[in-house]
């Protein structure tokens, strides 16, 4: 195979994704994956923990949302009962709303099979409790709001949770959620797949990585500050091990 063929971007239909996801992607008008999607989605579909560093606008949200939805659709084939499979944490209500919107766009053709609930809005817990009792497949929320529901007994993650995503990980600690994240870990199952998505690899992200990830793959997109659309991006991928307590 020539170098030119090696450099051709992988297409969504080559990633062994469910047809319903592919139809939703087509409706969104995404002709081919961004670089971070091309690199991250196959790793996440293999079940690896991944730390993704890429700037805003690079397609980070879909890079983790597509594998989350794919895994849920696959598990539904064997599932005997409805259960919460994925928890997506983000530092702000606005970002939680955006993430839930992307998930709903990507589940356009399977909205009955994959349900996503945003618990970030600051309404009374009792208002959201009935939504959680129905055990949506994906729960999106801030660390503080998620912890409130866990403490209230409205949310049980230990039995069924398979995936944990932290988006804008570089902001989670700077927004003051360090204590909540540490406390949240006590409500998690021992085994789960984890994804951190961040614009930087700050010390806060490294601390968060040590709390949540297990033997992760790190994907780091290096781009010029004002890169033209046609410029080539260099991606460095490194594997390293961590001991997570």
Paired strand residues for 88: 140, 165
The two tokens of residue 8 are: 């051709």
At 41 the pLDDT is 96
- 153, 155, 161, 165 alpha-carbon torsion, rounded to 10°: -120
DSSP state of 173: T
For the stretch 169-188, pLDDT in tens is 999 988 999 999 999 999 99
Exposure letters 129-165 (e unless 16+ CB within 10 A, then b): eeebeebbbbbbbbbbbbbbbbeeebbebeebbbbbb
Residue carrying the six token digits 């944990």: 164
Q: With contact defined as beta carbons under 8 Å apart, do 159 and 83 qualify?
A: yes
Q: With contact defined as beta carbons under 8 Å apart, do 166 and 89 qualify?
A: yes
At 220 the pLDDT is 83
The alpha carbon dihedral of 218, 219, 224, 225 has a sign of negative
Paired strand residues for 217: 50, 239
pLDDT tens per residue across all 245 residues of the chain = 444 444 455 799 999 999 999 999 999 999 899 999 999 999 999 999 999 998 878 899 999 999 999 999 999 998 889 999 999 999 999 999 999 999 999 999 999 999 999 999 999 999 999 999 999 999 999 999 999 999 999 999 998 999 999 999 999 988 999 999 999 999 999 999 999 999 888 888 988 999 999 889 999 876 544 333 333 333 333 333 332 32
At 222 the pLDDT is 60
d(CA 194, CA 206): 14
* Number of residues written out for the chain: 245
The two tokens of residue 199 are: 């614009």
CATH class of domain segment(s) 3-224+231-239: alpha beta
Between β-strands 163-166 and 193-198, what pairing exists: parallel, antiparallel or unpaired? Answer: parallel
**With pLDDT > 70 as the criterion, what percentage of the chain qualifies?**
87
């Amino acid at each position: 195979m020539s170098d030119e063929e090696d450099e051709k971007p992988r297409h969504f239909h080559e990633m062994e994704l469910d047809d319903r996801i592919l139809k939703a992607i087509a409706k969104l008008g995404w002709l081919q994956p961004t670089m971070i999607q091309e690199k991250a989605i196959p790793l996440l579909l293999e079940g690896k923990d991944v730390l993704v560093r890429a700037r805003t606008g690079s397609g980070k949200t879909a890079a983790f949302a597509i594998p989350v939805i794919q895994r849920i659709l696959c598990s539904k084939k064997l599932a005997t009962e409805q259960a919460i499979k994925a928890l997506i944490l983000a530092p702000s209500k606005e970002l939680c709303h955006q993430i839930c919107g992307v998930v709903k766009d990507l589940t356009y053709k399977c909205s009955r099979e994959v349900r996503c609930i945003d618990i970030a809005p600051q309404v009374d817990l009792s208002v959201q409790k009935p939504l959680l009792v129905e055990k949506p497949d994906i729960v999106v929320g801030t660390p503080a709001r998620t912890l409130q529901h866990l403490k209230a007994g409205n949310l049980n993650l230990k039995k069924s949770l398979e995936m944990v995503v932290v988006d804008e990980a570089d902001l989670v600690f700077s927004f003051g959620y360090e204590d909540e994240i540490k406390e949240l870990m006590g409500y998690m199952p021992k085994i789960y797949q984890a994804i951190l998505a961040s614009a930087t690899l700050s010390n806060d992200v490294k601390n968060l990585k040590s709390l949540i990830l297990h033997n992760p793959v790190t994907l780091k997109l290096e781009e010029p500050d004002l890169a033209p659309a046609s410029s080539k991006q260099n991606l460095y991928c490194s594997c390293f091990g961590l001991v997570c307590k």
